[in-house]
Amino acid sequence: MGIIKAKQLVHEYIRRDEEGNVESIQTALDHVDLDVEPGQFIAILGHNGSGKSTLAKHINALLTPTEGSLWVNGMDVSEEQNVLPVRQTAGMVFQNPDNQIIASVVEEDVGFGPENIGVPTEEIWQRVEESLKSVGMLEYRTHSPNKLSGGQKQRVAIAGVVAMQPKCIVFDEPTAMLDPNGRKEVIRTAHELNQKKGVTVILITHYMEEVVDADRVIVMDQGKVVMQGTPREIFSQVGKLKEYRLDVPQITILADLLRQSGLDIPVGVLTREELVGHILRLAQVEPPAK
């Protein structure tokens, strides 16, 4: 069984009036099946309101299924006694770093989680050091989070999650509020945690460029999983993505336009390196061996 497995998962937001009568029911997740293997890097795309964040909140047991089931590392999130172990298995990083940082010194913020679950003091400091190192923020350990840039704050927030030693981290639009450098830092950190520590990563984002290195891309629409595949498979279907209010990376659009103008360039070009390679081939310029 995968580390995250959903079977016919349904979530309905039910609104009631003052007397408790049901006013409206909104189906946010509509029979979702999902199976994520440990160590995978999964990206979830979908327009605002497509159900991405609702799904993410189930993985962290912040929400429980209305119907169907979701297991995190074999634990059913619907069962009360599993809530805390689930949250220790799957950590979550949110959009706004300012809402996730509570302490006035970086290292204390990172140590807050482990302290809360009763980790012995010595081990807390060990974990703090290790997690700050893994996000490249060790030299800022005694700084105030207020003076950090957006990307640095977000990395401190990630370190706070890493210090809980989760097997899986869900990133819910972690770069939406960051400048270009901050975005790069955070995405690089997510990949490093995935590769070096084997952490399973679920990345929810609206930036198509951030998805090209994922193992698998999942596209959601109206609470359903509507597309699934490698980034190349997904981004080869420009028309379909546009229907779901999504896009493809700039480089993919450019490669597509060039192909439509008659140049011999394949579908699904994802990165700048690939497109440079194709253009050099067409121009019959030898790329110098690096």
Partner 1 sequence: MSIILDKVNHIYSPGTAYEIQALKDVNLKIEDGQFIGIIGHTGSGKSTLIQHLNGLMKATSGAIYFHGKDIYDEDFDLRELRNRVGLVFQYPEHQLFETTIFDDVCFGPKNQGLSKEEAGLRAFEALRNVGMPEELYYQSPFDLSGGQKRRVAIAGVLAMKPEVLILDEPTAGLDPAGRDEILDLVARMHRERGITVILVSHSMEDVAKYVQRIVVMNRGSVMYDGTPKEVFRHYKELEAVGLAAPQVTYLMNELKAYGLKVDTDATTIAEARASLLEALTGIDSQKNDFHR
- Closest approach of partner 1 to the CB of residue 254, in Å: 5
Q: How many helices (H) and strands (E) does the chain have?
A: 10, 10
Residue ranges in contact with partner 1 by CB under 8 A: 46-50, 95, 149-151, 173, 176-183, 206, 208-209, 242, 245-247, 249-251, 253-254, 257-258, 261, 263, 272, 275-276, 279-280, 282-285, 287
Is residue 230 within 8 Å of 265, Cβ to Cβ? Answer: no
Cβ-based nearer residue to partner 1, 128 or 172: 172
Whether the Cβ atoms of residue 89 and residue 72 lie closer than 8 Å to each other = yes
Cβ distance to partner 1 smaller for residue 72 or 220: 220
C-alpha span between 2 and 34 (Å, rounded): 9
Q: Which is nearer to partner 1, 124 or 248 (CB)?
A: 248
DSSP state of 80: G
**Residue with Cβ nearer partner 1 (139 or 179):** 179
Instruction: For the CB of residue 178, give the shortest distance to partner 1 in the complex, in Å.
Output: 7
Task: For 206-226, give the DSSP string.
Answer: S-GGGGTT-SEEEEEETTEEE
Question: What count of residues does the chain have?
Answer: 290
Residue 276 CB, shortest distance to partner 1, in Å, is 5
Nearest residue to 172 (alpha-carbon basis) of 201, 195, 150, 192? 201
Shortest CB 253 distance to partner 1, Å: 6
Distance, first Cα to last Cα, the chain: 42
Minimum distance from residue 257 beta carbon to partner 1 (Å): 5
The residue among 75 and 258 lying less far from partner 1, judged by its C-beta, is 258
The CA distance from 122 to 252, in Å, is 50
Closest distance to partner 1 from the beta carbon of 176 (Å): 4
Q: Per DSSP, what are the bridge partners of residue 72?
A: 4, 75
Which of 93, 168 has the CB closer to partner 1? 93
Cα separations (Å) of 156 from 99, 153, 172, 202, 214?
12, 5, 16, 18, 23
* Closer to partner 1 by Cβ: residue 123 or 139: 139
- In angstroms, what is the minimal distance from the CB of 165 to partner 1? 29
Of 7 and 47, the one with the shorter C-beta distance to partner 1 is 47
- The least CB distance from residue 200 to partner 1, in Å, is 25
284: left (phi over 0), alpha (psi -120 to 50) or beta: left
Helical (H) or strand (E) element with 30: strand 22-36
